[in-house]
Amino acid sequence: KNPQTGAYCGLGMFTAKTRGDRRWEAARYSLMRGNYRLKDEQWLNMCYKKSDDAAVNMLVRARVGRHRREQWFSIGMTADYKQFHPHYRRAAQWTLPSGEDWNCVSMNLFDQVMAYDDYERRFHHVDYRRGNRDLASMEVREIYVGTPIHQHGRWQHLTGSLSIDMLFRSKQQLRVTQERRSPLAGMLPFKGVDTASAGSGWTIRWYN
């Protein structure tokens, strides 16, 4: 992506469009496409910024179970999971620090999906008498931010502001460490990230 002013990593960012009442204009927005086995690339990493009053959620479309049927689940963010539609219930949860500044976080999505007793989602064509074995072959198709709440005959809008920069998957957990201040701090803190050497974190290419 082309660098954008305001993007924390300088690689372009998603920002939800909101109405005057702070409701989102659309029910969902795509963040990342690509068919991959979750077992092979277990981690999700992102930089984000949200308002303190944001009620937001992440949705995943995946092939799950013995017949590899396409199903959905939520990665909880801040929306009230008790209101989620049964087909969009949580199979994982982000831990998001409070505050309205940029933060970078990672999660092992595979481990959370495998720990199914911690969350509400129960997939079709998964024999839970076998434990989590039928979940291990999950294939992720696409990841969105979007609403899991269906009430009064329609999908309810998410609310508040949310920006996400650099959502991507990896085999290992990635971290951002800035060893020196960018000359364009506040606009484009760094130019890009080389994930080839994930064991030592993100390699940052600075703008001159």
pLDDT digits (tens, 9 = 90+) for 41-65: 999 998 899 999 999 999 999 999 9
Would you state the pLDDT for residue 189?
44
φ/ψ of residue 111, rounded to 5: -60, -40
Would you state the pLDDT for residue 99?
79
User: What is the residue-averaged pLDDT of the chain?
Assistant: 83
On the question of pLDDT at 31 being above 60, the answer is yes
Binning pLDDT at 50, 70 and 90, where does residue 71 land? Answer: very high
Q: Does the CA dihedral 163-168-170-176 come out positive or negative? A: negative
Average pLDDT over residues 104-111: 95
For residue 196 the two structure tokens come to 């080839």
Average pLDDT over residues 35-43: 96
Straight-line distance from the first to the last Cα atom of the chain, in angstroms, rounded to the nearest whole number: 19
* Cβ contacts of 74 within 8 Å, gap of 6 or more: 57, 58, 59, 60, 81, 84, 88, 89, 90, 91, 92, 121, 148
On the question of pLDDT at 184 being above 80, the answer is no
